Amino acid sequence: MADGRDRAVTVDPAKLAVGFADALRRAGIAGTPDRSAWLVQALRLVPPHSRAELYWICRTVFVTSQQQLERFDAVFDAVFGGSEDAASFRGDPNASDSTALRRRAPRDARQVERSARAAQDGSTSPASPGSEQGPDDEEERPGAFVLATSPQERLHDTSFDLLSPDEIARIRKLVAALVVAVPMRPGRRDRRSQHAGDRLDMRRTVRAARRSGGDASRLIHAVRLPRPRPLVLLCDISASMEPYTRVFLSLMQAAVVTSRAEAFVFATRLTRLTRHLAARDPDRALEQAAGAARDWAGGTRLADGIRSFIDGYGRRGIARGAVVVILSDGWAQDDPADIEREMARLARLAHRIVWVNPRRAARGYQPLAGGMAAALPYCDAFVSGHSYAALQDLVRVIADDTAPSTGKRIV
């Protein structure tokens, strides 16, 4: 049975907005009724997943001057509770406890439900700064809107191997919506430019001058537009990776759709899934992908998988100058020397290599497994990818191109 503290409790955003606006008005921060409507629209368009996100949404709507910040922070902390200083949300490391009122969050699920029902029925009004409240009054504060987001926040930070099938389905929908961006590289072809400050295209200028008797009456300029680097994802679908595989396939599908990535899976052999994952329907795409990979949940031949990719696709251009993402725990049946040799070949072709190992999130983890230890020196980034929040970090790492490929940078 699930813990009662994880049950989602919702509050009508309209009633929450009206109550919070009333608390601000009584604290001396006046606002027009339109601002309550704006807050309702903001909460529905961008549902907050934490108190910090809710703080910024409310502040953007209601705060109009620097002088209002201290009173706004006090009202926000009084209404929504919590042990954090509200000033910390706006990046003030020196904020004191006096900048916000302290309130404790409801202690259990029954208090959360009572608080939510009270806010929905309109039977209570938000606490105003400076008011005296006892334990009973504190239970009825309409802070349940923020607490209703805490299960989803927990879902974002929980490892995939600890989630239920229903939670995995929810996470897959979130992962499928990720936009996987890739760094840019200089283009190879010149494009004609109308800006005189761009590079002079001598060939086109001389060609145009020949048509006018050798008189270069018009200078032609050109520019090389950047183009996205290729993105390649290689996912280990062996038995040891089974708790993470389906979520990783959802990420691969998002990369194929948004960044025209190339997707491969391997266990005992390599299988290309780019065409299967290109389908817009995620369930159909994953069903086709599972049917195409005959070695699902088998053993791991890491060196053979990388060798097959390089020989069959990498040297033909897919891996040249690409960002290659390998999703594997590094547990392999191959000789570590073979893995090191194939990783060295791949590093000579790729622009950057990002290794995603969900075991890295374990406390005290050390990359001591033979395959992982052999591959790590050739990786430019080493991330966990064990949770939705970790996959968000992975997306940022893929898009980051601030440092050149060195084969040594581990994050």
pLDDT attached to residue 297: 63
DSSP-derived 3-state class of residue 273: coil
pLDDT in tens, the chain (411 residues): 444 444 444 567 888 888 888 888 888 887 777 788 888 888 888 888 888 888 888 888 888 888 888 888 888 888 876 544 444 444 444 443 333 333 333 333 344 344 444 444 444 333 333 333 444 443 434 334 443 445 666 788 889 989 888 989 899 888 988 889 899 887 777 777 776 667 777 777 777 777 777 777 778 777 777 889 999 999 998 888 988 988 999 999 999 988 899 999 998 889 999 988 887 666 676 677 667 777 676 778 899 999 999 999 987 889 999 999 999 998 888 899 999 999 999 999 999 999 999 999 888 888 877 889 999 999 999 999 999 999 999 999 999 876 544 444 444
Which residues of 197-332 form beta strands (DSSP E)? Answer: 199-200, 221-223, 227-228, 231-236, 262-266, 270-272, 323-327
The C-alpha torsion from 49 through 52 and 58 to 60, rounded to 10°, is -110
pLDDT attached to residue 85: 42
pLDDT attached to residue 233: 96
The Cα 111–Cα 117 span in angstroms is 10
Let me know if 194 is exposed, middle or buried by CB neighbors in 10 A (0-12, 13-18, 19+).
Answer: exposed
pLDDT attached to residue 230: 94
Global pTM value: 0.59
Residues of the chain with CATH 3.40.50.410: 228-399
Let me know if 379 is exposed, middle or buried by CB neighbors in 10 A (0-12, 13-18, 19+).
Answer: buried
375: number of CA atoms within 13 Å, CB side?
A: 29
pLDDT attached to residue 3: 44
Token representation of residue 128: 């105003």
Classify domain 228-399 at the CATH class level: alpha beta
pLDDT attached to residue 151: 60
